[in-house]
A = this chain, B = another copy of it.
Amino acid sequence: MQSRYEVAVAKSKLKPRKASVSASRVAEVAGVSRSAVSRTFTDGASVSPETRAKVLAAAEKLGYHVNHLARGLIHHRSGIVCLIVAEMQTPFQASFVEAATRRLQDKGKVVMVLNTAGQPANVEAALRQTLNYRAEATVVVSGAPPLSLVETCIENGQRVILINRDDAIEGPQFLMIENEAAATEACFMLRRAGCTRLAVVSSTAGTPSIVARETAFVAAAKSAGIEVAVSRAGPTGYASGAESARQLLAGSNRPDGVFCVTDLLALGFLDATRIEFRLRIPEDICVIGFDDISAASWLGYDLTTFRQPIAEIADYIAEMLDEDEGGPAKVRFPVHVVWRKTVRP
């Protein structure tokens, strides 16, 4: 009894929801068979012009739209691409989502955004959703996916693309930014500007990108015989950058060249340095950021930074999903220096 009752409740909650018009309804109105309707909306199918016209007229009149859920069921292709992302209100992530949705739509795909809200546990739930909706591909922009689930996705015919990760697993495609090369270049740029006391401003987030940039910068400096001060004041953001400035500049041995692993960190660092410590940039301290978010080019900042090739990555993903064969397992994208005014030339 109990369970019956629950069923009833569930049913009433999963209310009918006025059914939408189907192909059979259109066929009825147009006076043709349902097959004819289906063929009218299938590229390259054989329908006479008259039938086609009748169908289109009826469809227009009824407001018929092909049910992609049913279509996907047959073709084993839902047309859905999932984007798993956290912190999507931050400039960099937001730009990526924007670029990806645009490019994928151009290729006829549709994007489902799964927000992990920063909770690592949610990544698993998100991957399960990609399976539930039979997504053709999943792009993991942030977060650490459970590898066993990634394997399940691949076994189920899904393409899996991991951005800026480097796990030891066969199957997914890895798209990576040349973080190390950029960090090494940053070190070189600062040294050439005459900086001798280097620091790196990082965060406690510990994502692969952040760690790679931080580590590579320290290594590059070390190989030039320079010890680097590392500051991680909190999560990756403006406030942490400002806090790092307070920590690094309070001491006596203050740095004169700083690499911030993210533009947001850099902007916070810049503001605190100028406003709270009244230091001049780049005269007293040179600063380099990473990402080239739009605020980096604002009048008050003019931040020298590295541009991530967001559009190129989005293009690459869209192109690749269009092809039958997946591309190479690992692709690295170069970053480019954007020279502005926070480093002496």
Contacts and interface: CB of A to CB of B under 8 A. Distances in A.
Interface of A: 3-4, 6-7, 9-10, 13-21, 43-46, 63, 65-70, 72-73, 75-78, 80, 87-91, 93-95, 97-98, 101-102, 105, 110-115, 117, 128-129, 131-134, 136, 152, 155-157, 238, 242, 267-268, 271-272, 274-276, 294-295, 298-300, 324
A101 B113 CA distance: 7
Nearest to A293: B89
A172 to B, nearest CB: 15
A70 B73 contact: yes
B44 A7 contact: yes
B14 A77 contact: yes
6 contacts: A63-B156, A69-B133, A69-B134, A80-B112, A268-B299, A275-B300
A132 B68 contact: yes
A157 to B, nearest CB: 4
Contacts of A132: 65-68
Residue picked from A6, A7, A133, most chain B C-beta under 10 Å? A133
State how many copies of this chain the complex holds. 2
A301 to B, nearest CB: 9
A137 B215 CA distance: 46
Contacts of A112: 80, 110-113
B67 A134 contact: yes
Contacts of A114: 101, 105, 110-111
B295 A271 contact: no
A234 B98 CA distance: 21
A19 B76 contact: yes
Residue picked from A46, A72, A94, most chain B C-beta under 10 Å? A94
A307 B115 CA distance: 23
A115 B91 contact: no
Contacts of A87: 98
Contact of A45 (B3, B97, B98): B3
Given A9-B44, A69-B72, A111-B112, A15 B324 contact: yes
A67 B73 contact: yes
A91 B14 CA distance: 36
Nearest to A90: B94
B113 A97 contact: yes
Given A101-B115, A129-B110, A155 B271 contact: no
